Chain A
Amino acid sequence: MYPEELRYTETHEWVRVGDNVAVVGLTDHAQSELGDIVYLELPAAGTEVTAGGEFGVVESVKAASDLYAPLSGEVVGVNDAATGDPALVNRDCYGEGWLVKVELKDPSELENLKTAAEYKEFIGA
């Protein structure tokens, strides 16, 4: 449920880093708590995001919830498949339901994120 190779935020985003580009998504815990996700508002490619800053919104039937950037950098990819079919995030939050790709400004920020074990402890899983 919480892949070891990912890093996590307290605001329930996950990060997968490779070649200085981080893929960002929503954790299984978050998608499950939100329930049926019906709307995603994501930044356009080229947008600068700051670690801890809002970068988008996820809405389930029940509620709207802000998305926070795990790391600072420039958005270099947006998952249009997920904005077109937000239920992808429910079905495959670590795969097809990824949200954005961010080119890292400061890879040392990764150290501020939680490991899978730390995240699991944080959510009491």
Chain B
Amino acid sequence: MAKAIKTPLYEKHVSLGAKMVEFAGFVMPVQYTGIIDEHLTVRENAGIFDLSHMGEIYVSGKGAPAALNNVVTNDVEKLKIGKALYTPICTPEGGIVDDILAYRDADEEYMLVVNATNIEKDFEWVAGHLPRGLAVDDRSLETALVAVQGPQSELIVSEALSEDLGEVHYYEFIPAIVDRVPVRVSRTGYTGEDGFEVYVDAARAAEVWDVLYDLTTGIGGVPVGLGARDTLRLEMKYCLYGSDIDEGTTPLEAGIAWTVKLDKGDFIGKGPLQKQKKEGLKRKLAGFVMVDSGIPRHGYDVINVDEKGIGRVTSGSYSPSLRENIGLGYLDLPYDEVGTEILVDIRKKPRLARVVETPFLKLLAGK
């Protein structure tokens, strides 16, 4: 195993007393003060995150929109310049290679933001499935990413940019300057709250972090680690690659059918996805709340009252906002129906849970 990579903000985290862990080949802060406190502060105020482990792959060249559209399931050809889009990349069988954000920088230029675990795989996949004439450039290590999330994030980021962000709507981005450092700012995130993601040259990440950190903590916000990032996204039923989705699951099963544009031209995985849609799903990613005690965790079996296996937990945690134990899992139909009672096998004891509507937390993200 290669030595874990330190992000450009590693020293910041260590000096803040963060607990560092290895994640996807990077040394990352898992928590500073504590997951629950960080989580609740993001929901009520604001939090700042180092997400520099995420990958950035640039695609450009003549015919890039149509060519890239063949590699992703959502429609990046229709995507306007200055906007971002969430999309899976699928295998020919319809399994999920990765779930990414595509930013359209120009007519024939995109930035793809990919999961840290998948940087190499995605780069090879994208490069391998695009015509030779297109440039595919992995700039992951030269690019840092700082996110500010929470109801106070607009105040913080607009102050840092000396710019009004009222016209930057959800999933839009602008080039901007933070303290003489050029950045890309998008109104995106993985928490369900209003929030921004700030991309910056790794060499200048610390300067941008300092500005945003001071503004965030100045109004009572906190730095947030991967632990709270996971509980925040789970409450919104945002999928985590490697846990909820992978090459063995399809976007339709995962409940993100809106990212699969079957009416656009051909794309990798279209046939099997079309077939799955037509024939109907056999299982679906559903959210449930524990009725009995115990916390559902990735890999636990789900059974029905007759103790027949009906699925498996993909994510689970204590939910700091709801103060309940919540989980996601693929459940055979029709057990995915809201209100269905299921049993989660926690330490060889079946414990009652109930399928609920998702997202678990009803928020209106962005504007």
Q: Is B35 within 8 A of A36, CB to CB?
A: yes
Point out the residues of chain A lying under 8 angstroms from B35, CB to CB: 35-36, 60-62
- If over half of B's interface residues share one DSSP class (helix, strand or loop), that class is named, otherwise mixed; here it is mixed
Point out the residues of chain A lying under 8 angstroms from B340, CB to CB: none
Closest CB-CB distance, A1 to chain B, in whole Å? 16
Per the bound structure, the CA–CA distance linking A103 and B325 in Å amounts to 33
Per the bound structure, the CA–CA distance linking A63 and B31 in Å amounts to 14
Closest CB-CB distance, A47 to chain B, in whole Å? 15
Question: Chain B residue with minimal CB distance to A66?
Answer: B347
Q: What 0/1 readout, one digit per residue, does chain A (80-102) give for beta carbons within 8 Å of chain B? A: 00000000001000000000000
Q: What 0/1 readout, one digit per residue, does chain B (24-46) give for beta carbons within 8 Å of chain A? A: 00000011001111000000000
Question: Chain B residue with minimal CB distance to A63?
Answer: B297
Q: How many residues of B contact A (CB 8 A)?
A: 18
Closest CB-CB distance, A113 to chain B, in whole Å? 26
Closest CB-CB distance, A105 to chain B, in whole Å? 25
Instruction: Determine which of A38, A59, A61 lies in contact with B227 in the assembled complex, contact meaning CB atoms within 8 Å.
Output: A61
Q: Is B294 within 8 A of A39, CB to CB?
A: yes
Say whether A57 faces chain B, with CB atoms less than 8 Å apart. Answer: yes
Instruction: Determine which of A35, A38, A90 lies in contact with B295 in the assembled complex, contact meaning CB atoms within 8 Å.
Output: A38
Say whether B158 faces chain A, with CB atoms less than 8 Å apart. Answer: no
Given A61-B36, A61-B231, do A35 and B31 touch, yes or no (CB 8 Å)? yes
Say whether B293 faces chain A, with CB atoms less than 8 Å apart. Answer: yes
Per the bound structure, the CA–CA distance linking A90 and B34 in Å amounts to 11
Q: Is B317 within 8 A of A61, CB to CB?
A: yes
Say whether A64 faces chain B, with CB atoms less than 8 Å apart. Answer: yes
Question: Chain A residue with minimal CB distance to B227?
Answer: A62
Q: Is B294 within 8 A of A41, CB to CB?
A: yes
Question: Chain B residue with minimal CB distance to A57?
Answer: B347
Which residues of B225-249 are within 8 A (CB) of A? 227, 231
Per the bound structure, the CA–CA distance linking A35 and B294 in Å amounts to 17
Closest CB-CB distance, B16 to chain A, in whole Å? 16
Say whether B196 faces chain A, with CB atoms less than 8 Å apart. Answer: no
Point out the residues of chain A lying under 8 angstroms from B347, CB to CB: 57, 64
Instruction: Determine which of A39, A59, A62, A64 lies in contact with B30 in the assembled complex, contact meaning CB atoms within 8 Å.
Output: A62
Q: Is B293 within 8 A of A64, CB to CB?
A: no
Point out the residues of chain A lying under 8 angstroms from B30, CB to CB: 62
Point out the residues of chain A lying under 8 angstroms from B173, CB to CB: none
Closest CB-CB distance, B244 to chain A, in whole Å? 17
Closest CB-CB distance, A111 to chain B, in whole Å? 31
Say whether B288 faces chain A, with CB atoms less than 8 Å apart. Answer: no
Say whether B309 faces chain A, with CB atoms less than 8 Å apart. Answer: no
Given A36-B35, A61-B35, do A41 and B293 touch, yes or no (CB 8 Å)? yes
Q: Is B295 within 8 A of A39, CB to CB?
A: yes
Point out the residues of chain A lying under 8 angstroms from B31, CB to CB: 35
Given A38-B318, A39-B318, do A59 and B295 touch, yes or no (CB 8 Å)? yes
Residue from the set B35, B317, B318, B347 with the largest chain A CB neighbour count within 10 Å: B318
Point out the residues of chain A lying under 8 angstroms from B19, CB to CB: 35
Q: Is A36 within 8 A of B34, CB to CB?
A: yes
Given A35-B31, A36-B34, A36-B35, do A61 and B320 touch, yes or no (CB 8 Å)? yes
Per the bound structure, the CA–CA distance linking A90 and B317 in Å amounts to 18
Point out the residues of chain B lying under 8 angstroms from A36, CB to CB: 34-37, 318
Per the bound structure, the CA–CA distance linking A104 and B40 in Å amounts to 43
Closest CB-CB distance, B69 to chain A, in whole Å? 39
Per the bound structure, the CA–CA distance linking A39 and B36 in Å amounts to 13
Point out the residues of chain A lying under 8 angstroms from B320, CB to CB: 61
Given A35-B35, A35-B227, A36-B35, do A61 and B318 touch, yes or no (CB 8 Å)? yes
- Name B residues whose Cβ lies closer than 8 Å to a Cβ of A: 19, 30-31, 34-37, 227, 231, 293-295, 297, 317-318, 320, 325, 347
**Known A35-B19, A61-B35; 7 more pairs at CB < 8 Å:** A35-B34, A35-B227, A39-B325, A59-B294, A59-B318, A61-B227, A90-B34
13 residue pairs from A and B, CB less than 8 Å apart? A36-B34, A36-B36, A39-B318, A39-B325, A41-B294, A59-B295, A59-B318, A61-B227, A61-B317, A61-B318, A62-B30, A62-B317, A64-B297
- 5 closest A-B pairs by beta carbon, nearest first, are A38-B318, A61-B35, A36-B36, A59-B295, A36-B34
